[in-house]
Each structure stands twice: as C-alpha cells, then as structure tokens.
Chain A
C-alpha cells in the first residue's frame, strides 16, 4: 500500500493528469464566476472565509482545485527530492538542480496563496484632510495632506497623500502614499486609489493585509532564478555540442 502510494506520488504521469484535471476545474470556474454575483464579494474577504459562507453548488470547483493542488504540491515535492537523490552524482548538477529550484518556487507560491486565503484582509474607506483611521494592528493613521496634480484640461494626472502613523497617541512615523507606492506599517498596507478635489479634497483609501506576499515574492524569485539558469545552461550546452537542447 505504502509502496503504491509512493509510486503514485513520484510519478510524472500523476503530475500530468493532475494538471489536466486542474485546468478543467479552472476552466469551469472561469465560466461560473461571471454569472454568480456571489463571486464579487471574493475580493473583499479571505478566500476560505468566503468559501465557508457560500453554497457548495458554486464553490465545489474551488474545493476540488485545492484538493488537487495539495496532491500536486506533494507530487512536486516528492519528485524533486527523488530527482535530486537519483542524480546527485551527475556532472551537470546545476542543470539538474534548476528545475528543482523552479519547483521550490512553485511550492512557495502555493504556500503564499494558502496563507493569504486564511488571513488576508481588505477594507476601503474615504479620507479627508486630518482624518484619522484606526488600523487593525492597533496603529492609527492620520491624513495630513491630500494633493492632486491637475493638467490644463482639468484631468487629474497624479495624486498623493502625506500620512502619519500613531501608536498609543504618539507619532511613530510619517510617509507619503501615491499610486503604485503604498505605505506599510506592521504588516498592513495603506493604498491611495483615487482622489476627488471638488467640492473639497477626498481620497479613496484601501487598507489591506496580504500575509502570503513575502512568500509569493520569494517563490517568484526562486522560480525565475531556476528558469533563467535552466535556459542559459541549455543554450550553452547546445552551443557546446551544436545539438538541439533537449
């Protein structure tokens, strides 16, 4: 039994067919999402909180995808370990390792999604000058100044807000938030989405927490590093032997 399970998990055939199943589930999901308004709320709460609240009739494909991803993650891990052990004596070790680095990156990204699905948080609010927001991590943020650049045609070309963090009534830091340039404090991000200048300046602010983000970044760096190494080594080997890389 144990041997059969290990054979199943170590098999490349398992990886291929799990991927096929996952593709079909996501295909189904992509057609289901636009026709059910319940999916609109998915942007505002953590995935697992949302899935628990919603009927299984519209979430079953997500549950099934998670189950397949768990199997695929196990398969990736077991295959990588087996490959490293089996080929440890090989000459072109880096060429053998680079796909395993990519696999590791993939696993990190899956872990990131798992963490975000459990503990992400998002809230949107409007802030005026001198408005104070209470953050979920016991910090307070004050909006000292809102600024908008307006071109001669009246189009708002850019916007920013100067903010100040407080803890227990004491100022602890200041920062400036712009589009694509949020501010982070204690694991919480403050984003300025847009501003309106008339009749008085007001900014649309988003507060979010994405616990998987550092893992996703680490996974992405690993994946790209492995991928570039693999590509460079394959090209170098092709040039050396003048044979097509395989």
Chain B
C-alpha cells in the first residue's frame, strides 16, 4: 500500500493538469489527494502533518478544497481556478523534494492540540493563498467582486489562524510550561496575525479600500510563506520540522 501512495499523488497532480481543460478532473485530483492523506494517515496511525512533505501536500489539498466552493459562485472563475490549481500543483511538486517523515512521533507531538494547531494553520495558509490570488486578480482587473471574496477568504483564514495560535499556546503550555516562546518562529506567527488584523481593520477605512487592500492580501501571503518555510530554513526555532 505504501509503495502505491506516490503513484496516487502523481496521478492527482496529472488530474489537476487536465483540470485546466475539464473541471471534473480537479475533483478527481482532490479526491486522490485526500485519499493519499487518509491512507498515509492510516499507515502511520496519526494525522500525516509532520515534516515539509506532509504539510506541503496538505496545504496543496487545502487550497483546492477551499477554492472549489468559491469559484462556483463567481463570474470569470476559470482564471481564478487555474491560478489556484497552479498554486496547489506547485506546493504538491515542492512536497516531493522532501523525504516523508515516517518514524514514530515523539510523545510530546502525540496530542489533539498539536494536530489541530497544525491542521488549522494550514487551512488558514490555504485561505490566505486564495485571498492573494483574488488580490492579484483584483489588481489586474480592478473588479470589486474579487475584493469582497478576498475579504471573506481573509476573514475565515484569520479565524482558523487565530484558533491555531490558541491551540498552539495550549499545547505549548501543557508540553513546555509556557504558552509563549521567544523564538523567531513565534515572532513571525504574531507578525502574520497582526498583519491580517491590520488587513481587517484597514478595510474599514476608505483610504485602504480597493488596490491597497489587494496589495495587503498579496503581501500577506508572502509573509505566510516566510513564516512557514523561510523561518525554518534561515532562522533557529523551536518549530524545526
């Protein structure tokens, strides 16, 4: 079973490529991605959310999962769906540059708080990614409908991210005796949370509406990427995955 999993992942990537022509292929691709995660989870006996391979793959699936219900409701959805699929395929491809983490988890990671902390973080990253796509589209086309959906994505992503931070804090308190650690990763997490708090407050002021807000949505996803990958690669942190 374990040997067939990479093939399943590759087929899901191929389905996404065909999705540029026919939308049902995107659905098949997503189902295959979810199956990959479920089967891998069964084989490991835990949520497959440890290490860059699993998290990038999860992020890729989450982007498609959140994108599908959104594009159903908007005009000119094809281009947005293509951009989201491109992003999902990029993260899936990137996941194969990393070796899957198959060893048993240390006891400190075997907790509900850790699993929800990671899952919610990546749900929020996916939503922020989709918001950034709408941000780019809005900057290119100047469409107000895209600004509204961009805001919705940010708001729901912010909810997931805030919950992820709370669950991470509870886990840290139970595991290490403190809900806050002074490391670059934690600082960047707060920067990200503050940035999207800024987005949600700035949109209430007339000056920020339209293009400035779209720029914020795009910049937010750059911060997401640095928080997720950049900090781990370039800075020492407790979040060494």
Interface residues of A (CB under 8 A from B): 12-13, 15-16, 19-20, 22-23, 26-27, 29-31, 33-34, 39, 42-43, 47, 112-113, 116, 120, 122, 151, 155, 157-159, 178-182, 189, 191, 206, 208, 210, 212-213, 216-217, 220, 223-224, 227-228, 231, 234, 244-246
Known: A23-B198, A244-B152. A34 touches B175 (CB 8 A): no
Beyond A158-B107, A244-B148, is A182–B177 a contact (Cβ under 8 Å)? yes
Question: Which residues of B are found within 8 Å of A23, using beta-carbon distances?
Answer: 191, 194-195, 198
Q: Is the CB of B177 within 8 A of A33?
A: no
Q: Are B156 and A231 in contact (CB under 8 A)?
A: yes
Q: How far is the CB of A104 from chain B (nearest CB, A)?
A: 14
Confirm or deny: B225 has a beta carbon within 8 angstroms of a beta carbon on chain A: no
CB pair B181–A159 under 8 Å, yes or no, is no
On whether A210 and B108 interact (CB within 8 A), knowing A19-B201, A26-B191, the answer reads no
CA–CA, A220 to B188, complex, Å?
Answer: 19
Most A CB atoms within 10 A — which of B111, B149, B180? B180
Q: Closest CB-CB distance, B191 to chain A, in whole Å?
A: 5
Q: B152 touching A13 by the CB < 8 A rule?
A: no
Say whether B107 contacts A180, CB under 8 Å. Answer: yes
Q: Identify the B interface with A (CB < 8 A).
A: 104, 106-108, 110-111, 113, 148-149, 151-152, 155-156, 158-159, 162-163, 166, 169-171, 173-184, 187-188, 190-191, 194-195, 197-198, 201-202, 204-205, 208, 231, 235-236
Give the CA-CA distance A31 to B230 in the complex, in Å. 12
Instruction: Give the residues in chain B near A42, CB-CB below 8 Å.
Output: 182
Q: How far is the CA of A140 from the CA of B200 in the complex (A)?
A: 50
Q: Are B178 and A120 in contact (CB under 8 A)?
A: yes
**In whole angstroms, what is the CA distance A227 to B108 when docked?**
29
- A39 vs B148: C-alpha distance when bound (angstroms): 42
Report the bound CA distance from A191 to B159 in whole Å.
31
Is A191 within 8 A of B176, CB to CB? yes
Question: Which of A42, A182, A224, A244 has the most chain B CB within a 10 Å cutoff?
Answer: A244
Shortest distance between the CB of A78 and any CB in chain B (Å)? 14
Among A112, A155, A216: residue with most chain B CB under 10 A: A216
Partner of B159, one of A12, A31, A231: A231
Interface residue from B111, B152, B156, B159 paired with A180 (Cβ < 8 Å): B111
Most A C-beta atoms less than 10 A away, residue of B148, B187, B205: B187
